[in-house]
Chain A
Amino acid sequence: MNPLSLYEKLWQAHVVREEPDGTALIYIDRHLVHEVTSPQAFEGLRIAGRALWRRDSILATADHNTPTTDQKVIADPVSRLQVSTLDQNCRDYHITEFPMGDHRQGIVHVIGPEQGATLPGMTVVCGDSHTSTHGAFAALAMGIGTSEVEHVLATQTLLARKSKTMRVQVEGSLPRGVTAKDVALAIIGHIGTAGGTGHAIEFAGSAIRSLSMEGRMTVCNMAIEAGARAGMVAVDETTIAYLKGRPFAPGGARWDAAVAYWRTLHSDEGARFDRVVTLDASRIEPLVTWGTSPEMVTTVGGRVPDPAAESDATRREGMERALRYMALQPGMAITDIAIDKVFIGSCTNSRIEDLRAAAAVVKGRKVAANVKLALVVPGSGLVKSAAEAEGLDRIFIEAGFEWRNPGCSMCLGMNDDRLSPGERCASTSNRNFEGRQGAGSRTHLVSPQMAAAAAVSGHFADVRTFLN
Chain B
Amino acid sequence: MKAFTTLDGLVVPIDRSNVDTDAIIPKQFLKSIRRTGFGPNLFDAWRYLDEGQPEQDNSKRPLNPDFVLNQPRYQGAQVLLARENFGCGSSREHAPWALDDYGIRALVAPSFADIFYNNCFKNGVLPIVLPADVVDGLFREVAASPGYRLRIDLAAQTVITPSGASHGFSVDEFRKYCLLNGLDEIGLTLRHADEIRAYEARRAQREPWIFGGAA
Contacts and interface: CB of A to CB of B under 8 A. Distances in A.
Interface of A: 16-17, 19-23, 25, 27, 29, 36-37, 39-40, 43, 48, 50, 53-54, 56, 64-65, 76, 78-79, 81-82, 85, 96, 115, 119, 121-122, 127-129, 131, 142-148, 150-151, 154-157, 159, 161, 193-194, 197-198, 224, 227-229, 247-251, 254, 257-258, 261, 293, 314-315, 317-318, 321, 412-414, 421, 431, 433-436, 439-440
A317 B18 contact: no
A121 B115 contact: no
Interface of B: 16-18, 20, 22-23, 26-28, 30-35, 45, 51, 54-55, 83-85, 88-93, 96, 111, 113-115, 118-119, 122-123, 172-175, 184-186, 189-190, 192-193, 195-196, 199-200, 203, 206-215
Nearest to A195: B85
A147 B119 contact: yes
B205 to A, nearest CB: 11
Contacts of B33: 39-40, 43, 81-82, 85
Contacts of A21: 172-174
Given A150-B186, A155-B186, 16 more contacts: A36-B30, A43-B33, A78-B31, A81-B31, A122-B210, A129-B115, A197-B113, A224-B89, A229-B115, A247-B214, A247-B215, A414-B31, A421-B51, A435-B22, A439-B45, A440-B51
A239 to B, nearest CB: 15
Given A154-B190, A197-B85, A27 B203 contact: yes
Nearest to B136: A314
Contacts of A247: 214-215
Contacts of A315: 17
A147 B91 CA distance: 11
Given A16-B195, A154-B186, A433-B23, A144 B115 contact: yes
The 4 closest A-B pairs by CB, nearest first: A250-B209, A147-B122, A21-B173, A145-B93
B31 A159 contact: no
24 contacts: A16-B199, A21-B172, A25-B196, A39-B33, A43-B33, A48-B186, A64-B30, A65-B31, A78-B31, A78-B32, A82-B31, A145-B93, A146-B93, A193-B88, A194-B84, A224-B89, A248-B214, A261-B206, A261-B207, A318-B16, A431-B22, A433-B89, A436-B27, A439-B45
B17 A318 contact: yes
Nearest to A80: B31
B207 A435 contact: no
Given A155-B196, A254-B209, A439-B45, A147 B174 contact: no
**Interface SS of chain A: helix, strand, loop or mixed?**
loop
B118 A435 contact: no
A284 B155 CA distance: 49
B111 A197 contact: yes
A107 to B, nearest CB: 14
Contact of A20 (B118, B173, B208, B212): B173
Nearest to B215: A251
Contacts of B90: 128-129, 412, 431
B168 to A, nearest CB: 17
A156 B13 CA distance: 39
B192 A229 contact: no
Given A21-B173, A27-B199, A431-B22, A194 B85 contact: yes
B93 A147 contact: yes
A129 B93 CA distance: 11
B215 A16 contact: no
A468 B207 CA distance: 48
Contacts of A76: 31
